[in-house]
Amino acid sequence: MIDRGILFSDARREFEKRFIARVLQRHRGNLSRAAKDLQIHRNTLGKKIEEYKL
């Protein structure tokens, strides 16, 4: 993706944002279940949701 000027860090952030959004959708917005599925703490998920404005 370097050809088009996309940095790895930007690509990683976009992937993480979309991945989290899909998991949240699968669990119908239930943060506890989504966090368990993602294997991260619920508070961490909350911060990611704020960061990515999900």
pLDDT score at 4? 73
pLDDT score at 2? 58
pLDDT score at 5? 82
| Cα distances (Å, whole numbers) of residue 15 to 39, 46 | 17, 17
- 17-41 pLDDT, tens per residue? 999 999 999 999 999 999 999 999 9
| Cα distances (Å, whole numbers) of residue 12 to 18, 25, 29, 30, 33 | 10, 20, 22, 24, 23
pLDDT score at 18? 98
Q: Where are the domains of the chain?
A: 2-52
